[in-house]
């Protein structure tokens, strides 16, 4: 099963911010799209970074500890610059390993070199759980059919 199956199941719009967007705008995009991460794009085509809910928490903590307001913070101030990406054709277990290796909870899915979705570890685990439940149901049905055949 590939990331494509997760993307089809959750066709949420790709939340995008500009490097000069203020953090309150980034948070609004997270809320509007129901996602915990936003990619930062420049000129509409260049992936510059990603901001997650953890980055927002760090920003709030840091600015408050310095006695400043977060309102003047920009996306480029708090984004992670080294964005981990993978192709939409990547297998879910490969993506989980990649996320574990980089200690991240969000990955940017790329299709033909362009970002198409932000996938969270929760999205992947949910899809894998759904697949496991389907397999259990099929096995249960097969076992019931075998018992009925043995009785007859």
User: pLDDT tens-digit profile of 85-110?
Assistant: 999 999 999 999 999 999 999 999 99
- pLDDT tens for 44-59 read 789 999 999 999 999 9
Query: Is the pLDDT reported for residue 129 higher than 70?
Result: yes
Backbone angles phi, psi at 11, to 5 degrees: -80, 45
Confidence of residue 126 (pLDDT cuts 50, 70, 90): confident
SS3 category, 112: coil
Query: Taking residues 6-22, what's their average pLDDT?
Result: 85
Backbone angles phi, psi at 67, to 5 degrees: 75, 20
Query: Taking residues 19-23, what's their average pLDDT?
Result: 94
Q: What integer pLDDT is reported at residue 12 of this predicted model?
A: 72
Query: Domain 3-121 adopts which CATH fold?
Result: CBS-domain (3.10.580)
Query: Taking residues 101-121, what's their average pLDDT?
Result: 93
């Amino acid at each position: 099963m590939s990331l494509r199956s997760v993307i089809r199941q959750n066709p949420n719009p790709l939340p995008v911010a500009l490097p000069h967007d203020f953090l309150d705008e980034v948070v609004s995009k997270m809320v509007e799209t129901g996602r915990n991460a936003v990619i930062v794009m420049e000129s509409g085509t260049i992936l510059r970074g990603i901001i997650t809910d953890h980055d927002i928490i760090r920003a709030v903590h840091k600015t408050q500890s310095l006695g400043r307001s977060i309102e003047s913070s920009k996306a480029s101030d708090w984004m992670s610059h080294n964005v981990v990406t993978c192709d939409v054709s990547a297998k879910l277990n490969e993506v989980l390993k990649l996320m574990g290796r980089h200690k991240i909870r969000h990955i940017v899915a790329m299709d033909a070199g362009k970002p198409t979705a932000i996938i969270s570890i929760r999205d992947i685990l949910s899809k894998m759980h759904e697949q496991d439940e389907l397999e259990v149901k099929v096995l249960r049905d097969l076992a019931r059919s075998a018992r009925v055949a043995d009785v007859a």
